[in-house]
Structure 1
Amino acid sequence: MRLVTTGALAIGLLVTALPAAADPVESGPWTSYEPTFTVQERGCGDVNDLTFKLSCSTGSGDQRAERRYATYSSGTRQFEGYFKITSLEGTRISLKQTFKTTGPFFMLAVERGGRLYSVHGGNTIATGATIGTTVRVNTVHVVGSTHRTYINGSLKHTVSSESGSFYDKFGAYRTGSGKGPATVEWSGIQFWRK
């Protein structure tokens, strides 16, 4: 009997140590799915699983370390991921993008000091994305209607969306006015649709 109790205790401790499954930020019904992706490494960009690194300090050229997910053109799509900046000697590094196949649509970037902002327009989305801090990002894209960005579960940014074909990207990407070095670790990547 003591062996059973000890085993049950060990199992209980193991279960409580596992992270809780995340839920979508908006009401559903949502269907979880796993889109395919390709890894993009350009310039001084390096991808090692979910660690994305820009090793150079150049302010020019195509410097990127990203995952680019499959294209979609209809419905409502939700992305969720957690990022932690482990080093940022540079500034103005794009972390998450919702890209239109014809060009940039929405880019979430970070400045040294932790300000998260929209690259197009420069509006502050949130603060506190400092080195070592884990930040949850959700984007909800209703194709042909709106694109909403949530930081740590709170709605922070909304922009109109036209129709077309789009895809999600995340990692570390030098913006037009940015430079590295930078290292970003991502985790908890999930996608839903409805």
Structure 2
Amino acid sequence: MFPRLRTVTVAGAVCAASLLAVPHAAAEVEPGGWTSVSPTYTVQERGCGQVDGLTFRLTCSTASGDQRAERRYATYTGGTRQFEGYFRITGLSGTRISLKQTFNESAAGPYFMLAVERGGRLYAVHGGATLSNAGTVGATVRVNTVHVVGDEHRTYINGSLQHTYDSPGGSFYDKFGAYRTNSGNGTATVEWSGIRFWRK
């Protein structure tokens, strides 16, 4: 099945609709010298993946094939880039679902993937390091990634540095949503909010 793609422009910030909504994005991590940017994106729905605004669903328990519901942002090369977003898992009968990726376009494959297991463990797919156990159903989690192209990629969970990874040079892009890893399966529903990007 071919993916259904549409291109739109990301909003700078998401406002909370009520006191029960996800909080506003507080501020970038590693403050100083950042410029806010609004990269364009495409929506990717494959297999049983469904995207409705900032809600991403895998509606099947299939443990094979390309099952994804994601936003794919514009490619960048060089410099330092930061992503910030909040996610809340509202349903997870499956496990090992990728939530956020930094994709190495030059190597034609994922470079960094943050995924969740049933029970709430957040981990780096490559290497398997545990970043946090905060990804339980119903909890709101803040994710920041800081990528210094050609040097290092850093991942923060709820404002705390949890993972560093050497970075090659080349072309990269950010993705987030819900995506079945090679060892994972749905179902899963993930709500994202407070999406922001910076560069310097």
Match of 2:177 in 1: 171
Q: Structure 2 matches for 1:101-112, cutoff 5 A?
A: 101=105, 102-112=108-118
Residue in structure 2 matching 1:37, options 13, 35, 41: 41
Q: Counterparts of 2:58 and 2:25 in 1: how far apart (Å)?
A: 30
> Partner of 1:104: helix, strand, or coil?
strand
Residue in structure 1 matching 2:93, options 83, 89, 93: 89
> Partner of 2:77: helix, strand, or coil?
coil
User: Which entry has the higher C-alpha Rg, 1 or 2?
Assistant: 1
Q: Counterparts of 2:134 and 2:83 in 1: how far apart (Å)?
A: 21
**CA deviation digits over 1:51-105, x for unaligned, max 9?**
0000000100000000000000110000000000000000000000000012110
Residue in structure 2 matching 1:124, options 130, 134, 154: 130
Q: Counterparts of 1:82 and 1:155 in 2: how far apart (Å)?
A: 16
8 Å CA contact retained: 2:116, 2:135 = yes
Unaligned stretches of 5+ residues in structure 2: 1-18
State the 4+ residue runs in structure 1 displaced beyond 6 angstroms.
Answer: none
- Give 1:38 deviation, angstroms: 0.1
Q: Does 1:162 align with 2:168?
A: yes
Q: Does 1:59 align with 2:66?
A: no
Match of 1:180 in 2: 186
**CA deviation digits over 1:119-171, x for unaligned, max 9?**
00111011121000000000000000000000000000000000000000000
> Partner of 1:59: helix, strand, or coil?
coil
Unaligned stretches of 5+ residues in structure 1: 1-16
Equivalenced residue count is 179
**CA deviation digits over 1:161-183, x for unaligned, max 9?**
00000000000000000000000
Structure number having the greater helix percentage: 1
TM-score by structure 1 length?
A: 0.90
> Partner of 2:153: helix, strand, or coil?
strand
> Partner of 1:28: helix, strand, or coil?
coil
The percent of aligned pairs where both chains have the same amino acid is 75
> Partner of 1:184: helix, strand, or coil?
strand
Q: Counterparts of 1:108 and 1:166 in 2: how far apart (Å)?
A: 16
TM-score by structure 2 length?
A: 0.87
- Give 1:21 deviation, angstroms: 5.0
